[in-house]
Structure formats: C-alpha cells, structure tokens
Amino acid sequence: MLTEETVIMFGALIALGLVFLGTLALLWPSRGMPDAASGEPRQRWRSSHPRHAAGARERYLKRAKASEATPIGRPQSTQTVAPARVTATPVTAAPVSPVSIAPAPPTPAPVSPTPTTSAPVTPTALVDYCLELSQQHRHADVVETASAALATDAPAERRPAGAHESAALWSILGLAQQGLGDHAAARAALDTAIATAPDLERPKYQRQLVALALAAARDLMAAAGAPAAPDSDGRVSSLRDALVWLARGRAAAPDDAELRELTATAETRLWPAYEQLVLALSQRQEFRAARGILREALERPDVPPARAETFRELFSGTFSGEIGQLTAQAIRSMQEARESEALSALERAERLLESVHDEALPPKRREEVDRRLWWSYDKLGRRRVDTGAFEEALEPLVRALRLAATAPDRQAETRGALVRAFEGWTESAALAIREVAGAGDREAALVRSDKLWTRLRAALHEGLTEQDLGVAFARVRRLFEEIGRP
C-alpha cells in the first residue's frame, strides 16, 4: 500500500515531465501544430510530394499578395480563409528535391543620367552643349570641349561655323577658366572673343571682360591686404597686378566709374607698400633688391611727386647703407687679422661709390660715405705700417689720401702715414737689392731698382710731393750709385 509521501513524489515527477514536454513543444513545434494567426497547420517548404509543395507555394503567394494589398498603418481584416485540408498519402516513390521560394531581387535605386562628354557635331549645338556644361559648373569639361573645337587642327565639322559661334564659344571658355581660377587664361579667351565677335555683339563681351577685371582686381587687392606679411614682395606684386587688370578693363570701358574708383584705391595702397618693402629689404641688408624696387617705383608714370622725393631719398640711403655694411665687414676682418679680406671689402665699397650718380647721392650723404671709407682705408694702412708691412700699406693709404682730398685735416694725417710707409719700403727694398747685387746677380738687382724708382715717381701723381719723398729718393740714388746704375 502506497504511503502519502510516495504519492506526492510520483505527482511531482509527473508535473516535471509535463513541464519538460511543454518546453520542447515550444522550442521545436511539430509539423501538425496550428499557426497562431490563421489556425492553419505550419508547413515547411519541404514536402514528400510535388502536389503538396505546389499547394503550399500557392498559399504562400496568396498571403503575400494579401499583405501587399493592405495599406500601411491600416489594420488587416480579421476574416480568415479556411485552409484547404491536405491529406498526406504515403508514397513509396523516391523523395523529391525540396522546393524553395527564392526572394525577389532588390529593386535598384534610381540613378540620374550623366550627360555624355562627347560634344555634338553641329556648331550651334556645340555652343549650347558647352553652355549647359557651364551652367552645371563643369568647368573642366567646358575647357576640354571648347579648346578641342577651337584648336587649329580641329576637324572642319566641329569648328564654329562663323564669327557669332566662335565668339560665343570663346566667351564660354573664358568664363569656365575664370571658374577654375585661371584669370590669365580667361582674359586671353575674352580678348579673343572681343576680337572675333561681330561689331554689334562686341559690347557684350567687353562687359564680360570688365566683370572679369573687377573680380580679379578685387581678389588681388584682398590678397595684398592680408595680415600675413605686410612688407613682403607679394603685397607689391598683388597690387601691381591688380592695376594691370584694371587698366585692361578701363581699355574696354573707359567711362566705367567702378573701374576708375578701384584703380584710385589700388594706387593709393601701392605707394606705401613700395616704401614698406624697401625699408624691410634695407633692414635685412638686401640693398640691391631694395634699389631694384625703388627703380621700378620711380619709373611708374603715375607716381606722385611727394612719393618720388621719398623714393629718391631711400634710393641714396641704400648706397650709404651698403657701403656702411662693407666697411663694417672690413673692420671685422682687420680685427680678426684677415687684412686681405678687409681690403677686398673696402675696394667693393669704393667701386660702388664710384658707380653712383651725383643726383642719386646728395653731397652731404656722399661726404659721409667718403669719410667712412677714408677711415677704414687709413686704419688698415696704419695697421700695416705698425707691423712693418710697408709695401702692403701703400695701396690702402693712397686710397685714403684720395678720399680725404676735400678734408685738409684728414689729408695731412694720411699723408704723414703714407710718407712713413714709402720711407720704410725704400729702406727694406734697397737692402734686398744690395744683397742680390752682392751675390753677383747684377741684372736682377737692376730690374728691382727700376721697379723701386718707378713706384716712387708714381707717388708724385698720387698726392705726395718730391719734398714729402725726399728721404726715400735720397736712399734710392745712393743705391743706384752702389750698383752702378745711371
């Protein structure tokens, strides 16, 4: 006899079994389970007979068509169609391959047709075609198509038929090149359009050129006003190019008020730009480049008189600045015992001074430059005299004496140093010539004595007198008597 505990245990086991079976039914429904929506048994797309597969596919298509016919957002009809009863008949034939419904291919997204790049053959159609491309901002295609049609080797059937079509095509080409940012090519194309167009159509293309000139000039003036580098050469170049554009526009439309006003603004900004650039170059000691900018500014016919006077002063200042740079370089070389480099720098400065016209360098500034050069030459010569390099001291002291011609005090100071250099040189040279003659080489002694005498005579034409060189001449005459030279 079963006890109460045994009955409870069996009941719990049966309940667990039912729960397990229910879970399996939910996870893996059997083929005969009814569909929750339609009450129709779920059918897989696999059947043991072709007729069953065909019926299932027909029911699937009916449901799909019904779902498509129902508008979105509107509840479907609750009426259900009674499914046809399918009776499974055992078949002993071989199983048939499963029948599957392939999904419908996706509908491609609509693609906007791309205009063809091949140009029409008719000249009128060619102009319309390029105009259409231009309106679509396809500037590169316009340039390619129009350039090919306007080329000298283009086929006759593709060339513009006459002046009207040719001018129109050149105009469209110019506008396309302007759209690409090539203002120079756009200007050339519009110039050709103006030259090609019939007389009645020419004003239209002239107005296009004026519009192009205004746009290009405004862009260049905006670039010149950028705060990136106010003293750069780019600022002057931009303003100068803007004036070139405006001049071309005024040639096409002389009475255009906007062109005239913009030209005045560009000129007003150009002159201070010249001055700032010159000052910046001078500060960087690029004096030759600064003089080139000033020559360009002074050669412009529209330079105001007051600005021209300022530019001339700056021009002379570049010479004195460069000479000052060279003299400073010579002094540094002397301090570092590189006297040959010092002399070379002073010679370059003196050549530069000689190349300057009197009107380019006022007398006061020239006197200042002369004094600077004199001081450098005199210092170099005295340095060599003090070290016993008498012959090497002659050239810088002679140059210093020439530069001190207008200053008696400086002249007397340099003359005394030059006389000491000649006296020291003749003494050492006479001693060397006696040694050569004593060694039996009389011909070499005569050659060297001739050189000594010639140099002394030349000094009489370099600012010294025979009285200044009395001691030197006396030494040379004694030398001649010793070696038997007349």
The pLDDT tens digits along the chain (486 residues) read 557 777 788 788 888 888 778 777 676 655 444 444 444 444 443 444 444 444 544 554 455 444 444 443 343 443 433 444 434 334 343 343 333 334 444 433 333 333 444 555 565 688 888 888 888 889 899 898 888 888 887 777 677 878 888 888 888 998 898 888 888 898 899 888 888 889 898 889 889 889 989 999 998 888 887 665 555 778 888 898 999 999 989 988 888 899 999 999 999 999 999 999 999 998 888 888 999 999 999 998 888 999 999 998 898 888 888 888 888 888 888 877 787 888 888 888 888 877 777 666 777 778 888 888 888 889 889 988 998 999 999 999 998 998 887 788 888 889 999 999 999 999 999 999 888 888 888 888 888 889 999 999 999 998 898 899 999 999 999 988 888 877
φ, ψ of residue 308 in degrees (nearest 5): -60, -40
Q: How many residues does the chain have?
A: 486
Say how far apart CA 312 and CA 318 lie, in whole Å: 10
Q: Burial letters for 158-195: b for 16+ Cβ neighbours within 10 Å, e otherwise?
A: bbbeeebbbbbbbbbbbbbbbbeebbebbbebbbbbbe
Query: Residue with structure tokens 């931009």?
Result: 238
Query: Residue with structure tokens 């498509």?
Result: 68
Taking the chain, what is the end-to-end CA distance rounded to the nearest angstrom? Answer: 174
Say how far apart CA 350 and CA 347 lie, in whole Å: 5
Which of 280, 273, 319 has the alpha carbon at shortest distance from 297? Answer: 273
* DSSP code of residue 34: B
Angle (CA) 278-279-284 rounded to 5° is 95
Write out the H or E segment, with its range, that includes residue 1: none
Q: Which two tokens stand for residue 415?
A: 């003359």
Say how far apart CA 162 and CA 156 lie, in whole Å: 12
φ, ψ of residue 118 in degrees (nearest 5): -80, 130
Residue 343 confidence (pLDDT):
83
Residue 390 confidence (pLDDT):
92
Q: Which two tokens stand for residue 54?
A: 């065909």
CB within 8 Å of 333: residues ≥ 6 apart: 339, 341, 342, 345
Q: Burial letters for 16-52: b for 16+ Cβ neighbours within 10 Å, e otherwise?
A: eeeeeeeeeeeeeeeeeeeeeeeebeebeeebebeeb
Distances in Å between the Cα of 80 and the Cα atoms of 34, 66, 73 are 14, 11, 20
Say how far apart CA 339 and CA 331 lie, in whole Å: 9
Are 177 and 139 in contact by the 8 Å Cβ rule? The answer is: yes
Say how far apart CA 472 and CA 455 lie, in whole Å: 11
Say how far apart CA 343 and CA 338 lie, in whole Å: 9
Say how far apart CA 212 and CA 249 lie, in whole Å: 8
**Confidence (pTM):** 0.54
Are 238 and 201 in contact by the 8 Å Cβ rule? The answer is: no
Residue 331 confidence (pLDDT):
82
Bridge partners, residue 34, by sequence: 41
Residue 118 confidence (pLDDT):
52
